[in-house]
Amino acid sequence: MGSLGALLFLLGSLGALADVCEIPHVDSQLVERMGQHLLPWMNQISQEQLNPSIYVGLRLSSVQAGDMEAFYLHSLKLKYQQNILGCTSSDDCKTKLPMGQLALYMLALRANCEFARGHKGDRLVSQLKRFLEDEKKAIGHNHKDYPYVSYYQYGLSILALCVHQKRVHDSVVKKLLYAVEHDQHFYQGTLSVDTEAMAGLAFACLERSNLNPNLRNRITLAIRTAIGKILKTQTSEGHFGHVYSSPLALQFLMTSPMRDMELGTACLKAGAALLAILKDRGFQNVLMISTLLPVLNHKSYVDLISPDCQAPRAAPSSLLGTVVLEPAMEIPSQTQSSDVIRVTLKVPSVLPPYRHVIFVPAGSSLEDVLKKAQELWGFTYGTKATLSGPYLTSVMGKEAGEREFWQLLRAPDTRLLQGIAEYTPKDGETIELRLVSW
């Protein structure tokens, strides 16, 4: 069968030829299983572990966590409002509170149908606007420099303000438009699909809300450009970029009202690829799950412009079309077998270069390997807690500097798609930690 034949066969088996972005039908049990993974995280309400994207993901999904949802939002409010009201200067606020997280918190408020209002709301909005102004200055007049933090958080912040119907200055939007128009979301020669998709979501919100009417045509064109670029990244398995960038890409593509066979086909294929993974081993990362849940419910962050505020949340246990999670259900923990595997840990970016063979039980995470190396083989490392999990910040006493990071690779040169807490090395693998600029 030729490739066209294979594609038509695939579409036939998916049930339809579509010309808008939709994914194949999703079994509600599958969605429930995904939702179950979030429950243990909802019980962790220490400041470090609280993650507004969990709340947003749940509210945009067909999964409900009953009273836990309200309690979680309450904990989020305590954390973010305390921090925002407690900081004294702009710099103090930035260290106490990463601005991207503040933006996600604003999405969470909107997901509960609240608008940022009053003294606290005004503080939130002005902090985020100030952050965008600082980032805009860092990018510079000629757009040649980089934002201090990232274009991802730049897009996310515009989106958060937009769903609250808060207008940002045209000059702020123009920086993001320029970045999409001039391929600035590329990293080491590859498009950062997440960054492009986040910019696309911000534009889709601005287009619908018409908050920057002078830029309307440019925004519409940028949306098309972003769609085109993301479609080009589709892999033979169907993912946009790769498996972990597909959820956000699909959220963005689903916002498009464009009727286009190429778009419709690409979304069906990407959806089918994600569903196959869900059926097989699923997603473990809580941030990934919370990004994917809206997609499975045909929703995106842009729906937070007008969230469904009338629908009851989880009072009776069988709301039509929804799945209410039972907190008592056990989540199977990751099993480690008694087999021992051999992993080589290599760090060429330090003097003298580090290289050691480490033995760990099969099924151990890369973090387990690092711990073992630290315990027994003179290795040292540091991490910081983020919404995606532990992020490697220093290795052998060497801290990653500004616009640098410790990249995780499988030798000789394959970039890992997961962080240290989730990646499980196979027997005989060599893992390299490489200090690179980004």
The residue ranges that bind ligand B12 (CB under 6 A) are 98, 100-101, 104, 149-150, 152-153, 192, 194-195, 244-245, 248, 285, 288, 386-392, 405-408, 415-420, 422, 438
Report the chain's C-alpha Rg in angstroms.
22
Measured between alpha carbons, how far is 318 from 59 in angstroms, rounded to an integer? 17
Q: 95: exposed, middle or buried (C-beta count within 10 Å: 0-12, 13-18, 19+)? A: exposed
Of 58, 27, 23, residue with least CA distance to 279: 27
Write the CB contacts of 6 (distance below 8 Å, at least 6 apart in sequence): none
Q: 426: exposed, middle or buried (C-beta count within 10 Å: 0-12, 13-18, 19+)? A: exposed
Supply the minimum distance, in Å, between the C-beta of residue 288 and ligand B12. 6
Instruction: Provide φ and ψ at 32, rounded to 5°.
Output: -65, -40
Supply the minimum distance, in Å, between the C-beta of residue 300 and ligand B12. 13
| Angle value at C-alpha 136, between 226 and 88, nearest 5 degrees | 130
- N residues, the chain: 438
User: Given the complex with ligand B12, which of 64 and 233 has the nearer CB atom?
Assistant: 233
Instruction: Provide φ and ψ at 92, rounded to 5°.
Output: -60, -40
What tokens were used for 325? 């999670």
Measured between alpha carbons, how far is 149 from 143 in angstroms, rounded to an integer? 15
User: Given the complex with ligand B12, which of 194 and 368 has the nearer CB atom?
Assistant: 194
- Tell me which residue has its CB nearest to ligand B12: 419
User: Given the complex with ligand B12, which of 322 and 407 has the nearer CB atom?
Assistant: 407
Supply the minimum distance, in Å, between the C-beta of residue 150 and ligand B12. 4
Of 407, 410, 404, residue with least CA distance to 434: 407
Cis ω on the peptide bond leading into residue 52 (within 30° of 0)? no
Supply the minimum distance, in Å, between the C-beta of residue 427 and ligand B12. 20
User: Given the complex with ligand B12, which of 59 and 218 has the nearer CB atom?
Assistant: 59
Of 167, 146, 246, residue with least CA distance to 209: 167
User: Given the complex with ligand B12, which of 200 and 264 has the nearer CB atom?
Assistant: 200
Supply the minimum distance, in Å, between the C-beta of residue 83 and ligand B12. 13
User: Given the complex with ligand B12, which of 250 and 323 has the nearer CB atom?
Assistant: 250
User: Given the complex with ligand B12, which of 190 and 337 has the nearer CB atom?
Assistant: 190
User: Given the complex with ligand B12, which of 64 and 244 has the nearer CB atom?
Assistant: 244
Supply the minimum distance, in Å, between the C-beta of residue 50 and ligand B12. 11
User: Given the complex with ligand B12, which of 65 and 198 has the nearer CB atom?
Assistant: 198
Instruction: Provide φ and ψ at 430, rounded to 5°.
Output: -110, 125
User: Given the complex with ligand B12, which of 49 and 386 has the nearer CB atom?
Assistant: 386
Supply the minimum distance, in Å, between the C-beta of residue 321 and ligand B12. 28
Measured between alpha carbons, how far is 257 from 61 in angstroms, rounded to an integer? 21
User: Given the complex with ligand B12, which of 264 and 419 has the nearer CB atom?
Assistant: 419
Q: Concatenate the DSSP letters of all residues of 270-323 into one string.
A: HHHHHHHHHHHT----HHHHHHHHHHHTT--GGGGGS---SS--SSSS--TT-E
Supply the minimum distance, in Å, between the C-beta of residue 227 and ligand B12. 18
| Angle value at C-alpha 299, between 290 and 173, nearest 5 degrees | 90
Q: Which residues pair with 389 in a beta bridge?
A: 386
Supply the minimum distance, in Å, between the C-beta of residue 66 and ligand B12. 26
Supply the minimum distance, in Å, between the C-beta of residue 14 and ligand B12. 24
Contact status, residue 179 vs residue 151, Cβ threshold 8 Å: yes
Supply the minimum distance, in Å, between the C-beta of residue 6 and ligand B12. 27
User: Given the complex with ligand B12, which of 314 and 408 has the nearer CB atom?
Assistant: 408
Supply the minimum distance, in Å, between the C-beta of residue 192 and ligand B12. 6
Amino acid identity for residue 320 in this structure: L
Residue 187: how many other CB atoms lie within 10 Å = 10
